[in-house]
Each structure stands twice: as C-alpha cells, then as structure tokens.
A and B are shown apart, each in its own frame.
Chain A
Amino acid sequence: MKNFILGLMFFSLLTVSGFAGALSRQEATTLFIKAGLSYEEGQFARAAGQYQEIINGGWESGPVYYNLANSYFRAGELGKAVLNFERARRLMPRDSDLEANLSYAMSLTKNPPAVKSLWQTFKGKLLVSFSRTELDVALCVLGLVLASVHLWSLYGQWPGRKRIFICGLLATLFVLVGLVLIGQIRWEKNSAIVIKDSSCKFEPRLEATTYFDVSPGLRVKVLRDFESWAKIERPDGKQGWIIKENVEKI
C-alpha cells in the first residue's frame, strides 16, 4: 500500500512538474521563442521545424499548433496548415485569429464548400466551439452541481415537482454536455486532413481506377487502414482509398 501511494505521488509529480518527454517545459518554451524569431525573419520552413520539434518533444498547446500552421501556410504547404489549424482549434476553439486564418486557408483550397443542412452546420459549429478540457470540466462541474442539488433536495425535503424540475434541468444539461463531448470524441477520432493532392482509388493499389481526386485542406473521415493505404470518406459521402502519407489525422 505504501509503495502504491509512493508510486502515485511520483507519477503526479511528473505530470505536474512538466516533464513530458524529450523536452522539458522550459526547453519547449525557449524553442517556441526561437521559432517565433525564425518566423519573423521569414524563415518559415525553419520555424515550422522548430514548432514541430516542440510537438515531437511531447508538448502541445493551441498557440504552438497555430504558429506551426502559420509557418506551413507561409511555406506554401496549405494542407499541413489546415491540419494544424484544426489541431489548434481543439485546444483554443473560440480564438478569433484562428478562425480567421483557418477560414482564409480553407478559402484558398481547391475543395468546393461542403453542402450541409442546417442541423449539420449547427452540429459542426457546436462540436468545435469547446475544447475537450472545457467539456470535461463542464461535465464534472455539472455532475457535482447535479449531485449536490439532488442531495439538497433530498435532505431539504423539497416538494417532488420542484426537485424533479430543477434536477431534471440540470440532468438535461449534463446529458447535453455529455453528448457534445461524446460527439466531439467521435468526430475527432477518425477525422483527418488531406495534405497533398491525391487520387482516391476504388481499391488499395496504385493500378486501381481513380474514383475521385482530393486537394490539400479537405477534411475527411478515415474509415480503415490497410498496409500503406487508408480508406477515407469525403464530406459528400464518397469513399475511396488514398495513400496513407497523403492524409494525416487531426
């Protein structure tokens, strides 16, 4: 028991102190500043490499992905720019600069805008409006509030209708937030961005017939993997096989 507790404390210390991998937090911060200077000097490829080093070193944050995306954009790699903007949006969903940059980058892609129903548009906006952390905390807080209010209603002997109404309201909110969180998890689980102009085949082999083409920046869903191929689904529902290295998961 004692050893278990000690081990738990050690692990906590690791996560709290900021040692996540090859880089320390301080090193990651320093690298971030260096990358910013490279960007200001116009060395966009070098800046992208430095930001990527932070990520490879086990650290991430919204600004890191945002700056990485900007660097890729300036370096002419539109697909990777969109990919990293999407990654940044997971962590800082309502950043106006990010929304503007992503919108502009998407406007430069050759992909036609997806035709969505009102519900799909609303759902899409809802799922990207909150970060995972925010949803987790919200769910936790709502759970605590719901439990507290319910217990209070029990011990305070509230009238049944009042208890049902308030607790029902809180429970609905809790469920909704839970659904948004689940939706976000599912939505991000297999979402990917095309990073190179590619042809999607009917079968996972180079000689197969091309079904459709995709351009960098297109958001697709990865359905399955097979060797060096991945089966993707376009927003319009078309499915095809693409070389795995031409698409990257968010």
Chain B
Amino acid sequence: MPRYKRKNIFWPAVFFMVLFMVRSVSAEDIRVEGTVDDSAIELGSSVQFRITVYGVQQGTPPELPAIPDVESHYLGPATKVSIINGQHSSSVAYNYQLFPSKTGTFKIPAVTLNLQGRDYSTQPIDVQVVDAGSLPGAQGNQAQGINLRDKIFLVMGTPKKECYLNERIPLTVKLFVTGLTVKDIQYPKIRHEGFLMDDVKEPRQGHQVIGGIEYDVIEFQTFIYPARTGDLSLGPTTLVCNILIQRNRRPDTGFGESDSFFGNDFFTEFLGAYDTHNLTLESADLKIRVQALPEEGKPKGFSGAVGQFDFNASMGPAAVKVGDPLTLRMTITGQGNLKGVSFPALSENNDFKFYDPQIKDDGNGKILEQVAIPLNDKIKEFPALKFSYFDPDQKQYKTVTQGPFPLQVTALPKEEQMKVVGVFQDNPSGVLPEVVGRDIGFIKDRPGRLMPQGGSPAGTGTMLGLVLITLAWAALVLFHNFSQRLKKDEKFARRLHAPGHARRGLARARTYLEQDNQKAFYDTLFKTLQKYFGHKCHLPDGAVNLETVSGILKARGMDPGLLEKLKNVFDQCEIVRYASSRVDTARMRESFRLTQELIDDFERNWR
C-alpha cells in the first residue's frame, strides 16, 4: 500500500475542496465499507445494502454478486463531502435494495472494487429473514418497538486490563449511534474509585462498522492512574443525551436525515414530526488488576514515577563568587503520571543554600527552577542529580543522571563579603528563631529572710542611725569651727581662757593664803586680776591697771558697784605689795573672797 504523506490541514483542505469542485480525485485514503440498514427483516420486506467508497467522489457502481433466493435492485449513487474535525472527506455510496424470497439467513458476499489500480473489498454481512410479524415494529424505523440498545449504546475501554500502580492508562468512552438523531450530548461521567483521572478531552467524531451496520461514533478520551493495588472496578460510565425520534419517517434513500448525524431537517421539525426523548446510557464496567511496583531493583531515590520519562538538568552560570546566585533548572517530560512526579530533592549542606523552587507544568512536562547560593570558595562542582522511574512496558526501574556540573566559586574580598539574605536576614548565625512556650516559673524552695510584717526594722534603725550620724557630725563640725575660731580669733580665745586662768590664779592664791604668805598671796591675786582683765579686755598684761580697766568696763556699761569692788581689791593688792604692810589672815581671806566674787560677777555680767 503506497504511503501517503501527511500534510498541513488547511491549505490541502482548500486544495481538496477545489479539487472536489472540479471533480478531481482527492489525496485521502480510499476505503470501502458495506453496510445494511437492518440485520433482521421480515419476509416480504427488503433490506437496503450500501457500498460506501471513501476517498472518491465518483465511480462506477459495482456489480453485486448473485445471492441465492435474493433479488437485488440498484437504487442509485449518493455523493457526500464533509469536513469533520478539520478533516476533509468525500465518499460515494452505491445503494441497493435486496428482496429475500424465503426465510432464513442469507449472506451478502464481499464486493470487490478496483479503484486506482487496487482492489478494495467489503466485509460479508449476514441478514436474517424471519416470518412476517415475528419482529416487533419491523417496518422502517418507527418509534414503537425500536430496540434502542442496538441503535445507540456506550462502550468504555482500556488497552490494558493489568497495569502497575500509578501507571498511566488511556481510557476511551465511545458513543455509538446509528439511525438516530442525537443532540445535547453531555460529557460522560466515569466512576473511577481507586483511580486518579485526568480531565476528559474534547470528543472526536468518526464512523465504525459493527456487524455490517455503520455507526456514527463520538469518542471521549482521558487517562487514568490506579492509586491502589488489587482488582479494581472502573465504571460504569453514564452519558446523558437527547434523541429525536421521527413520528412518520420517510423511506431511507441514502440521502437526507439518516446521513446527517445531527439530523436537523428544518421542515420536519417545524411541522413537529419529531419527539425529543432524554436518554441516559450506561456502559459496562471494567475490571483492572493493579500490581504493586516490584521491590527488587528499586533505586534509593525513587519517588513513585511510573511511565517513560526524560529528565534534563542544567545549572548556570559556571563561574560565580561566594554568595552569588546559581540557577538550577530541571525538566521532566514524557508519558506517565507527571502530576505525581517529584524532582530530585536538594538538601541544605555546608556548601549550598537553597531557596524554594518554582515548579511549572506546561502540559508537556514539569519544569523546576531553583536558586542555589554557594557558601564557600572550595566548591568545585554541583553534585549530580538523579531521577528514577519505573517503566511499566519494560517492567524495570530506570535512573537518569544529570551532572555533576563543574563550578568555579571565587571568594569575595573581606570588605565585599555579603551576608546570605533571605530567611536568615535577621539571624546572621543562621539559627532559625525558636518557638518557645510561656508559663510562670516554679516556686522558691527557701523562705528567705522572714521579717516581721508591716515594716522593715532597717527603717527604724536607719532613722536612728541617721539621727545619730547627724548629731555626731554636727558636734564635730561645731567643734571644728570652735577650734578654728580659737586659733584664729585671739581676742575670743583670750576671753574664753580668762576664767580658766583666773581659776588657776585663785587656786595658787589660795595656796599662798594657806601658807600665810602675804606677799605672794597678794602678788598672785593682783596678777590673776591683771591677767583676767587683760584677757577679757584684750590688753597686754603690762597695760592692765585700774584706770584702764575701769575705763573699758565703764564703756561696756558695767555695774558701778562692780567697778567699786574692783577698785577696793586693786587698792588692797597695791597697799600690800608696795606698802609692805602686814595684814592678818582674816583680811587675806576677805581679799580672796572679794576677788572670787568679782570675777564671778564679771563672768555673769560680761556683755
């Protein structure tokens, strides 16, 4: 059979349409089909036999071979040109009417046509002829008594009845229709417990001959992936549609409604000759045995990929500095459970830091892009990446290795060293913040220093201490000030010392009095007074005499009686000291007493 080169659809279609319009032969494949409108008829009725030649637009009607006990009449040709799913097709149908003359089964033999130098043959078709009245509603295609199961049915199928876990299995659901007008076809609902299923694709239309009857076929395709092992049941599948059933149908001549799949005779519908019936079709279920993947030979990094895959990886740039980003790109393409496929995992280590990968699925495969940061300049390569999968056709595991990828990493000068940014930005140590709980701490196990309640003894003691300290300090300061004054203020010091000197002088005088030493007594008495008033009035000793002292005392407002007393004592001392008179002890005592009183009086009254 010559091989026909596939061509782009649009322009060849136009070309073919042009060819059709000038009645030239198109370049599509030629095939021949033989079909009947009914495979069981009653005696006395006829069956229409059609030979359809696809791929041609004209030809010579073939001669039917003789069929015993069957008369045949050629009805005429019918040409059809259509564009379905973008495909241009043309056909010529040669219609025959066959009249059996007896009951039984007769075979319409294969009919051979020679087209373009080649022979094409139909398949033999058996037709059953029964007695009249044996078939329910056998005349034409009346609504009553039509066995719809023969006219429209749903078939679900897979190429495999045994498969592996997660293996990708094609699943097709076909709607077969003949002799009916179907509309409002919904997508089939497939019960797929234990399987994962892709979305059902857009349906395709076609034709198929089953038992000599041509069916229009709508095919739905998808893929299933068994999710567990064991004997699983797929389906049943249901499909909902509406069928139009003609109330008074005209004989089928090979033209018109029966040739048109989505029959839409405007006039018959307008006149209300069709009834719409909602139909729910159900397919049989499928049994599929799912095996577990073999353990023997399972690679270490196998993550469950089943199918036939290609794995590619690349890394760039090849020369970077420490801390500069590298881009790792991995792609997985092929046939299999792509959605469940995992890329080789990259774990953090001392050489590289990895960021979260970006994974895309473009329909043809999965693509991963990930940034890696080299952490030191000792790195010479990026390690190899391995992807393992199980090939169900070859029943073995396969591993694809990419890399290692040579890498040149140079260190940064110290001043240019950068920190790795990202999640570790606030943690230069690289330690992720720890999430900790919170609660109160445990009780103390020792009571500490138990104190009487209500106040600290330290408070009272402190106050007492502060008071004492203050008093002591004040005393010492005063004393210091006093000492300093004594040192610096002679007048004050002399005045302060005057009584002391006077007392000592009087004590000496008393001694002389006891000894009855009159001269020494009066000398001492005089000198005591002299010193006393000298200190009190701040006069040199030699300048102290009665006149001087009296004048000062008068100026100070002293009591005149005291001045008189002072004069008497001075006179007594003068008399004895200079006159050398002898006085008795009583007189001496009197002088001593006067002097004592005088000093005391002056001390009391000194201002």
Give the CA-CA distance A15 to B441 in the complex, in Å.
Answer: 33
Does B583 reach chain A (CB closer than 8 Å)? no
Q: Is the beta-carbon distance between A154 and B444 smaller than 8 angstroms?
A: no
Give the CA-CA distance A147 to B465 in the complex, in Å.
Answer: 12
Give B286-317 as 1s and 0s: 1 = Cβ < 8 Å from A's Cβ atoms. Answer: 00000000000000000000000000000000
Which of B226-234, B323-331, B449-457 lines the interface with chain A?
B449-457
Which of A28-36, A113-121, A207-215 lines the interface with chain B?
A28-36
Which residues in chain B, 265-300, are within 8 Å of chain A measured between CB atoms?
A: none
- The tally of CB-CB contacts under 8 A between chains A and B is 109
Query: Chain B residues with Cβ under 8 A from A139's Cβ?
Result: 462, 466
Q: Is the beta-carbon distance between B439 and A104 smaller than 8 angstroms?
A: yes
Give the CA-CA distance A73 to B451 in the complex, in Å.
Answer: 24
Which of A53-61, A227-235, A240-248 lines the interface with chain B?
A53-61
Which residues in chain B, 398-446, are within 8 Å of chain A measured between CB atoms?
A: 438-446
Does A45 reach chain B (CB closer than 8 Å)? no
- Other-chain contact of B451, A61, A67, A101 (Cβ < 8 Å): A61
Does B160 reach chain A (CB closer than 8 Å)? no
Which residues in chain A, 187-243, are within 8 Å of chain B measured between CB atoms?
A: none
Does A62 reach chain B (CB closer than 8 Å)? yes
User: A25 with B466: in contact, given A15-B457, A63-B444, A155-B480 (CB under 8 Å)?
Assistant: no
User: A67 with B458: in contact, given A21-B452, A104-B438 (CB under 8 Å)?
Assistant: no
Give the CA-CA distance A63 to B447 in the complex, in Å.
Answer: 5
Does B25 reach chain A (CB closer than 8 Å)? no
Query: Chain A residues with Cβ under 8 A from B458's Cβ?
Result: 132-133, 136-137
Q: How many residues of B contact A (CB 8 A)?
A: 32
Q: Is the beta-carbon distance between B450 and A67 smaller than 8 angstroms?
A: no
- Other-chain contact of B466, A15, A105, A133, A143 (Cβ < 8 Å): A143
Give the CA-CA distance A92 to B456 in the complex, in Å.
Answer: 13
User: A151 with B449: in contact, given A132-B456, A133-B458, A143-B470 (CB under 8 Å)?
Assistant: no
Smallest distance from the beta carbon of B127 to chain A beta carbons, Å?
93
Does A130 reach chain B (CB closer than 8 Å)? no
Query: Chain B residues with Cβ under 8 A from A74's Cβ?
Result: 440
Which residues in chain B, 441-492, are within 8 Å of chain A measured between CB atoms?
A: 441-454, 456-459, 461-462, 465-466, 469-470, 472-473, 476-477, 480
Give the CA-CA distance A73 to B458 in the complex, in Å.
Answer: 31
Give the CA-CA distance A132 to B456 in the complex, in Å.
Answer: 8
Does A126 reach chain B (CB closer than 8 Å)? no
Query: Chain A residues with Cβ under 8 A from B453's Cβ?
Result: 20-21, 55, 58-60
Does A150 reach chain B (CB closer than 8 Å)? yes
Query: Chain B residues with Cβ under 8 A from A71's Cβ?
Result: 443
Q: Is the beta-carbon distance between A147 and B456 smaller than 8 angstroms?
A: no
Give the CA-CA distance A63 to B444 in the complex, in Å.
Answer: 6
Give the CA-CA distance A150 to B470 in the complex, in Å.
Answer: 12
Q: Is the beta-carbon distance between A61 and B473 smaller than 8 angstroms?
A: no
Query: Chain A residues with Cβ under 8 A from B465's Cβ?
Result: 140, 143-144
Give A24-52 as 1s and 0s: 1 = Cβ < 8 Å from B's Cβ atoms. Answer: 01001100100010010000000000000
Known: A20-B453, A64-B448, A74-B440. 13 other contacts (CB 8 A): A20-B452, A36-B443, A58-B453, A61-B447, A62-B444, A67-B444, A70-B440, A100-B440, A100-B441, A104-B440, A139-B466, A140-B461, A147-B473
13 A-B pairs within 8 Å (CB atoms) are namely A59-B450, A60-B452, A61-B449, A61-B450, A63-B444, A63-B447, A133-B456, A144-B465, A147-B469, A147-B470, A151-B476, A151-B477, A154-B477
B-side residues, CB < 8 A to A, are 438-454, 456-459, 461-462, 465-466, 469-470, 472-473, 476-477, 480
A-side residues, CB < 8 A to B, are 15, 18, 20-21, 25, 28-29, 32, 36, 39, 54-55, 58-64, 66-67, 70-71, 73-74, 91-92, 97, 100-101, 104-105, 132-133, 136-137, 139-140, 143-144, 147, 150-151, 154-155
